[in-house]
Structure 1
Amino acid sequence: MGMSGQSYNIYNAVYAVAHALHSMYSPKAKQKEMEKLGGKSLLLRPLHAFLSNIHFNNSAGEEIFFDEEGSLPSGYNIINLVTFPNDTFQKVQTGRMDPLAREGKRFTMNGSATVWNHKFKEHVLTFIFAIQEINRNDHLLPNITLGFEIYDNAFNPLRAVGNTLQFLFTGQGNPFNYNCDGNQQLVLAIGGLTSPNSMQMASVFNTYKIPQHGFYVPNQDNCTGEEKLGSLPESVLEMGMSGQSYNIYNAVYAVAHALHSMYSPKAKQKEMEKHGGKSLLLRPLHAFLSNIHFNNSAGEEIFFDEEGSLPSGYDIINLVTFPNDTFQKVQTGRMDPLAREGKRFTMNASATVWNHKFKEMQPRSRCVDSCYLGSSRIAQQGRQVCCYDCAQCPAGRISIQTDADQCEMCPEDQCPNEKQDQCIAKTMTYLSYGEPLGAILISFALLFSLITFAVIGIFVLLRKTPIVKANNWSITCTLLSSLLLCFLCSFLFIGQPRKVTCLLRQTVFGITFTVALSSVLAKTITVVLAFLATKPGNRMRRWIGKRLAVSVIILCSLIQIGICAVWLANTPPFPEFDMHSQISEIIVQCNEGSNTMFYIVLGYMGFLAIISFTVAFLARKLPDSFNEAKLITFSMLVFCTVWITFVPSYLSTKGKYMVAVEVFSIMASSGGLLSCIFLPKCYIIILRPDLNTREQLVRKQY
């Protein structure tokens, strides 16, 4: 539960910044700044100027400050990672470096508490064991004895260079670039274990054409060459051989087999035949090393591939960390290029235990570039799982990590951005007054309303003229009033849908239009009956009058009112948010509650229009004095055309455009009735008053 060194440094860093900011914004600092700048308060000095002067004690009592070089002269502990035979580890403090301590106590080290890694000793013993085993083998390198020297580079590249030169020259008592002892021949060097050491050694060995095998064995201390692996206590060295020791063992045997091939009589014979019977130096060792092929004592096949690599398998080890700072190695998989297809890589994911300090996802192998944000992986058929293609996320989906297995849906109220790598809020949309489409429809609604008001005004002012008196005044007033309401009900469809507007818009539209159509039907019936009543002896005269027209209008309107009442009582319309029709928008609309009731309302209005059209069409050949039937016929033709085209247009649109189609149909059909029935009369009243006489109206043509 103790705080780690890194966490402790972070803690001190935060407090250092806090103390610097405290000094920077203190009244004393501001006063000095103003005095320096002649009373003007400007920006204070940079933060680092105060940061370099901090000096405080943290909550642990440790003194925190920066020295002249800007470094934090804090101490640190020296930790020894002790390895146990069961492959567990534990951190043990064996010393401390403290520059703030008194002289003689700045560096302390408990040598007796330091436990050196027994693996280093194991590497050396493995190397010696392999050499001795080869020298005792009568069939491998007969009459040749291998010798060796071991140097410890201590993971230091500079020391590796020095040891290499000592190995080549000074260690044998020779000056640089000279070899005075011809009895010993340097064949090959093995090392080092780390890449920096290997590269430094290679730069020296390459100059003198000395082959180098890439394994380094550190720490030859306390090794006499007489030790036996089995005789060592288990507390010092477990009986199992580690992977690195196994590689060292194979490296020594690989060199031995290459030397065996190099000095074989068959190789010498080929060399002499090539040079005309003269025995010259044999080919370089690496030429034979690349062609070795043998089975080691464990039965594993050892050879080098075309790239000079040893195609051997290796175990995948998981270093499991426990809360008490101990560790244990657990094998979780294996990579074996020599295994059969499908078994070359095995991994037990369930056995892998991640360090509790990390929250990373499991690593993934791959042989292609990563799939970027906004795309997902698609496996390539017939290839390894690490080979895949990248596909852009489908519309409406995102991916927020590289190499995503699949794209994810955004929440209902959000949509993907353009790159499809994050979700952004959807915009709410409806037919508003501020947008161009809504403004145009409102303008036409106001225009037609003003025209209707003007027609009403003309008929009221000139109601005593013959052409106005010839029309049934009650039907005319009812029709004009209903047309005015039809134009005004367009305002219920524009703007954000609310509960009240959703309840009223379709019912008000249906009832007002029904009143208008029933008025047209009443006017049509009145025209026909008026013509029939002019014939001598016809009994239709008694049916002509206000009672018939009012009865038709009331009866037809009550039927529509009843339909709307049933609609509102059972499935009333209500506002809703459609989040699925559009990817980037939330459509605010009115749900009609029951589409069936909506189309019944429309169907009933269509029924009235068809009856009016039929009656007017049959009466179209009446004498000119009763030619209003022609105007009604044409107005019903316009009405039916508009609403027949409305249905497919309404069903094929969504959102605000669906509302715009209905508003346009309302104004187009209402405008057709107004124009066809009343504008000709207004033309005669205003522009042709000579035709607005009783004589013109009673004149008959047969």
Structure 2
Amino acid sequence: MVKRTVSMQVLLLILGGILVPASAQVCSLLGQPAFPSLSAERDINIWAIFSIHRNALLKMHNYTSKPDPTTCASLNLREFKFAQTLIFAIEEINNSTQLLPGLSLGYKIYDSCRSFTQTILSGMALMNGYEETLSDTSCFRPPAVHAIVGDSASSSTIGLASVVGPFSLPVISHFATCACLSDRKRYPSFFRTISSDYYQSRALAQLVKNLGWTWVGTVRSRNDYGNNGIAAFEEAAKEEGVCIEYSEAILNNDPQEQFLKTLEVIKKGTARVVLAFIALGDFLPLLKVILQHNITGIQWVGSESWITSQTLAETKEYSFLSGAVGFAIANAKIMGLREFLVNVHPYKEPKNELLKEFWEIVFQCSFNSIGSGCTGSERLAELQNEYTDVSELRIANKVYTAVYAIAYTLHNILKEFRTSTNSSKIGWPIPQMVLKYMRDVRFTVKTGEEIFFDESGDPVARYDLVNWQSAEDGSMRFELVGLYDSSLPSEHLQVNQEHILWAEKSGQLPVSVCSEICPPGTRKAVQKGRPVCCYDCIPCAEGEISNGTDSSDCFPCDLEYWSNESKDRCVLKVVEFLSYTEIMGMVFCIFSFIGVLLTAMVYILFYLQKETCIVRANNSELSFLLLFSLSLCFLCSLTFIGRPTELSCMLRHTTFGITFVLCISCVLGKTIVVLMAFKATLPGSNVMKWFGPAQQRLSVVSLTLMQVIICVLWLTISPPFPYMNLSYYREKIILECNLGSAIGFWAVLGYTGMLSVMCFLLAFLARKLPDNFNEAKFITFSMLIFCAVWLTFIPAYVSSPGKFTVAVQIFAILASSFGLLFCIFAPKCYIILLKPEKNTKKEMMRK
């Protein structure tokens, strides 16, 4: 029941715009009138355009006479249900006392026949304000339309929005999802209650990536819906690292060869997943071709246009679509809609040919036939088809919402007018007023969903993720397995994989990749001339790792770390130094202790034979001091073994330098004694008084003290310290002693070498002195060995890596120490132990 108020006439003046001029003109209609398929005029009329028929029959025009009106064929039950849903929403609003009180809504519904030109023709008729004829008394009429609901297809809606946009006439679509329609500059008066394909395309890209599919094929409608949808998907897929193997475009009126070509591309493709961003009408011919060639095993991913189509789901021949997943508009329940739908009857409007056609199609009868004629007693409630089924009202709910959006907009205009005293509003053009208020409209429908439009005229994007699963009767049912909500702060996509049934009724997630996943320890190398998803797996280089699958790069380990054998983890590098536990360290220790033991044995032997001629003749005091210094030389090699520390680094070089200088000083003193002793045998010579025991001690102390001073300066200015050498080897750390001051090291070594050369030269000069036992010749051999060892030490020391540097230095110490020990003391020990008869004064004095 409709309530009317006194202010209704005033509001109608507002909704009618500027008043009719007093002078009337006679006008005639040019062009062809457009007739609504369903209409009921009331106070305010809502206009709508639906594709009630699937096809507009093409006719050849000879351009000699006015063409006949377009004939439409193949009734679309889904679109017819959309039209009835709009009527249901209008009746519901008219029966409400809360919304538009005192006003009743009417409707005029046009059939675009899925034709672009027919949509434009209907839109022009709505704008011009005529249907059949114009008034014969006036060329001007108030705007007859305040907002248009429709169309279902994106391409025709683009044409409609382009035509009416300059006139600020709001168009609100329930099914045009093309992202291009969000362009406010091109379509300033467009709104929609369904989400833009921009969000659906991004949701599909996230879904594909979430399921691990990086190699997919695409099939699209060759129109604005498919082209823009796939373009947005490709952009989002690229961001997600998903590659597209092929992209095919088709239309329902393409020749059979085009569908066969598309089928051949799908068959030859290696991608197991095919995304069909395609209108239902374009998809059906391709499905028939796929059915004829028995193509199975494809995991289909669908757009909202067909993923919840009852026509496909109820056709058992299309069972190969089992397991398909895709995003659908959120489902809803509209209370009372089924009762309204089944109460539609052609006898209620006897002149309406569309209702008769509907009745004949659903009941397979004819009103003009006698044998199988329609009686009118048939009951829609007993039918189960796409029209009567209200379990899937995803798009129908968007029609319902669009009607309420217009109603709430008009309600807000009425409310503002009643509370405003500004009478100048009466002269405002109505379309601009409706457009202004529709931008700010915000309401909640009975389904519980809050509706509002953003700056682009789009609602919040919400999708259900549905999965096609087989029902007991062989048909398909739509199982909810996830959702996408763009209003969530994060993680817009939620997928429940456990409840998904995949292609061929498999519980195993299909794999669709161009190349197998690269395991940890490898990186991807793109194959030349192919997409980035096609790659080879290259092992990481030494010292680099990748700890995840499908890594694009390998990452170097920190300086103190190195890659393990699998190249998937950084481990601490092996720290290398000469330790006591390894064979080389143990060998050096053994030889060091052997040297100390032999030196001690010689010391004991000399001590026991200290009164014999051979011991006394060779300056026993210097001999004992030399043996002591040799034992220190053997022991100092131990400081080079083990983990370097600050103390060991300072000790190893200083003790080496001091002990060896002490040793060489003793040898030098013995050499000088030999020379002085020979000079003393000459008549009139008194040189021995200048190099007696006191002078010998002083020379040894002085020469050693000089080395001590050099070492103290070295340790004071820049002492050696432990150092981790990371540059010599990449895979291990050399723990060594940094010299601190290279000048200090070479000063110590140079001073020792200088004394050695001096000792060698003096011994060489005295080697042939006419004594029976001339010690100079043994000193010459010992110093020859000493100098040879240390001369070869320098290049070996510089070129040896890691712990071998230390090993070379220890070898030089031990070799030179053993050389001195054997060359100087071995002949004497031989005489003492094996030739005691030569150990006499007489034998020593014999020429």
Residues 685 and 692 in structure 1, CA contact (< 8 A), matched pair in contact too? yes
Q: 2:559 is paired with a residue of what secondary structure?
A: coil
Q: 1:391 aligns with which of 538, 547, 572?
A: 538
Residue in structure 2 matched with residue 467 of structure 1 by the alignment:
614
Check if 1:232 corresponds to 2:368. no
Q: Is the alpha carbon distance of 1:557 and 1:356 closer, same or farther for their aligned partners in structure 2, counting shifts above 3 Å?
A: farther
Q: Is the alpha carbon distance of 1:376 and 1:539 closer, same or farther for their aligned partners in structure 2, counting shifts above 3 Å?
A: same
Residues 250 and 259 in structure 2, CA contact (< 8 A), matched pair in contact too? no
Residues 377 and 391 in structure 1, CA contact (< 8 A), matched pair in contact too? yes
Check if 1:670 corresponds to 2:817. yes
What are the Cα deviations for residues 236-267 of structure 1, in whole angstroms up to 9, with x where unaligned?
A: 526665879955999999554538x9xxxxxx
Residues 483 and 674 in structure 1, CA contact (< 8 A), matched pair in contact too? yes
What are the Cα deviations for residues 282-336 of structure 1, in whole angstroms up to 9, with x where unaligned?
A: xxx9789999xxxxxxxxxxx99xx999xxxx99x999xxxx9984499xxxxxx
Residue in structure 2 matched with residue 529 of structure 1 by the alignment:
676
Residue in structure 2 matched with residue 438 of structure 1 by the alignment:
585
Q: 2:722 is paired with a residue of what secondary structure?
A: strand
Distance in 2, Cα, partners of 1:630 & 1:502: 37
Q: 1:138 aligns with which of 50, 60, 66?
A: 60
Residues 318 and 329 in structure 1, CA contact (< 8 A), matched pair in contact too? no
Residue in structure 1 matched with residue 39 of structure 2 by the alignment:
none
Q: 1:258 aligns with which of 243, 255, 260?
A: 255
Residue in structure 1 matched with residue 653 of structure 2 by the alignment:
506
Q: Is the alpha carbon distance of 1:236 and 1:469 closer, same or farther for their aligned partners in structure 2, counting shifts above 3 Å?
A: same
Distance in 1, Cα, partners of 2:249 & 2:633: 102
Check if 1:610 corresponds to 2:746. no
Q: Is the alpha carbon distance of 1:568 and 1:358 closer, same or farther for their aligned partners in structure 2, counting shifts above 3 Å?
A: farther
Distance in 2, Cα, partners of 1:668 & 1:518: 18
> Which residue identity lines up with residue 829 of structure 2 in the other structure?
C
Q: 2:641 aligns with which of 477, 481, 494?
A: 494
Percent sequence identity is 39
Q: 2:774 aligns with which of 627, 638, 641?
A: 627
> Which residue identity lines up with residue 371 of structure 1 in the other structure?
C
Q: 1:587 is paired with a residue of what secondary structure?
A: strand
Q: Is the alpha carbon distance of 1:429 and 1:532 closer, same or farther for their aligned partners in structure 2, counting shifts above 3 Å?
A: same
Distance in 1, Cα, partners of 2:249 & 2:555: 55
Could you tell me which runs of 5 or more consecutive residues in structure 2 were left unpaired when the two chains were aligned.
Answer: 1-47, 63-67, 88-108, 113-118, 124-147, 151-170, 179-195, 198-218, 227-247, 265-284, 296-301, 304-325, 329-449, 452-458, 464-488, 496-511
Distance in 2, Cα, partners of 1:618 & 1:516: 20
Shift of 1:517: 0.7
Distance in 2, Cα, partners of 1:389 & 1:218: 54
1:141-180 → structure 2 map (5 Å cutoff): 147-148=73-74
> Which residue identity lines up with residue 237 of structure 1 in the other structure?
H
Residue in structure 1 matched with residue 519 of structure 2 by the alignment:
372
Q: Is the alpha carbon distance of 1:394 and 1:596 closer, same or farther for their aligned partners in structure 2, counting shifts above 3 Å?
A: farther
> Which residue identity lines up with residue 409 of structure 1 in the other structure?
P
Residue in structure 2 matched with residue 692 of structure 1 by the alignment:
839
Q: Is the alpha carbon distance of 1:220 and 1:521 closer, same or farther for their aligned partners in structure 2, counting shifts above 3 Å?
A: same
Residues 53 and 76 in structure 2, CA contact (< 8 A), matched pair in contact too? no
Residues 393 and 407 in structure 1, CA contact (< 8 A), matched pair in contact too? yes
Shift of 1:695: 1.0
Equivalent residue pairs, number: 440
1:533-682 → structure 2 map (5 Å cutoff): 533-682=680-829
Q: Is the alpha carbon distance of 1:245 and 1:357 closer, same or farther for their aligned partners in structure 2, counting shifts above 3 Å?
A: closer
Shift of 1:483: 0.4
Residues 221 and 250 in structure 2, CA contact (< 8 A), matched pair in contact too? no
Q: 2:801 is paired with a residue of what secondary structure?
A: coil
Shift of 1:499: 2.2
1:22-101 → structure 2 map (5 Å cutoff): none
> Which residue identity lines up with residue 645 of structure 1 in the other structure?
T
1:308-319 → structure 2 map (5 Å cutoff): none
Q: 1:148 is paired with a residue of what secondary structure?
A: strand
Q: 2:523 is paired with a residue of what secondary structure?
A: strand
Residue in structure 2 matched with residue 516 of structure 1 by the alignment:
663
Distance in 2, Cα, partners of 1:392 & 1:466: 76
Shift of 1:459: 0.7
Residue in structure 2 matched with residue 355 of structure 1 by the alignment:
491
Residue in structure 1 matched with residue 31 of structure 2 by the alignment:
none
Shift of 1:613: 1.1
Structure with more relative contact order (C-alpha pairs < 8 Å, separation 6 or more): 2
Q: Is the alpha carbon distance of 1:614 and 1:440 closer, same or farther for their aligned partners in structure 2, counting shifts above 3 Å?
A: same
Residue in structure 2 matched with residue 409 of structure 1 by the alignment:
556
> Which residue identity lines up with residue 355 of structure 1 in the other structure?
E
Q: 1:625 is paired with a residue of what secondary structure?
A: coil
Q: 2:605 aligns with which of 421, 439, 458?
A: 458
> Which residue identity lines up with residue 149 of structure 2 in the other structure?
L
Residues 531 and 626 in structure 1, CA contact (< 8 A), matched pair in contact too? no
Distance in 2, Cα, partners of 1:517 & 1:564: 17
Q: Is the alpha carbon distance of 1:529 and 1:369 closer, same or farther for their aligned partners in structure 2, counting shifts above 3 Å?
A: same
> Which residue identity lines up with residue 450 of structure 1 in the other structure?
L
Deviation larger for 227-236 or 624-633: 227-236
Distance in 2, Cα, partners of 1:537 & 1:525: 19
Distance in 2, Cα, partners of 1:288 & 1:605: 92
Q: 1:683 aligns with which of 830, 834, 842?
A: 830
Could you tell me which runs of 5 or more consecutive residues in structure 1 were left unpaired when the two chains were aligned.
Answer: 1-121, 153-216, 262-284, 292-302, 331-352, 360-364
Distance in 1, Cα, partners of 2:261 & 2:827: 114
Give the TM-score, by structure 2 length.
0.46
Distance in 1, Cα, partners of 2:261 & 2:579: 87
Distance in 2, Cα, partners of 1:146 & 1:528: 135
Q: Is the alpha carbon distance of 1:545 and 1:470 closer, same or farther for their aligned partners in structure 2, counting shifts above 3 Å?
A: same
> Which residue identity lines up with residue 689 of structure 2 in the other structure?
R
Residue in structure 2 matched with residue 168 of structure 1 by the alignment:
none
Residues 54 and 75 in structure 2, CA contact (< 8 A), matched pair in contact too? no
> Which residue identity lines up with residue 258 of structure 1 in the other structure?
P
Distance in 2, Cα, partners of 1:687 & 1:391: 73
Q: Is the alpha carbon distance of 1:129 and 1:474 closer, same or farther for their aligned partners in structure 2, counting shifts above 3 Å?
A: farther
Shift of 1:563: 0.9
> Which residue identity lines up with residue 695 of structure 1 in the other structure?
K
Q: 2:520 is paired with a residue of what secondary structure?
A: coil
What are the Cα deviations for residues 589-647 of structure 1, in whole angstroms up to 9, with x where unaligned?
A: 32221222112211111111111111111222112424211111111111112112222
Q: 1:391 is paired with a residue of what secondary structure?
A: strand
What are the Cα deviations for residues 548-607 of structure 1, in whole angstroms up to 9, with x where unaligned?
A: 322321222122111101100100112233345444444333222122211221111111
Check if 1:477 corresponds to 2:624. yes
Q: 1:376 is paired with a residue of what secondary structure?
A: strand
Shift of 1:516: 0.3
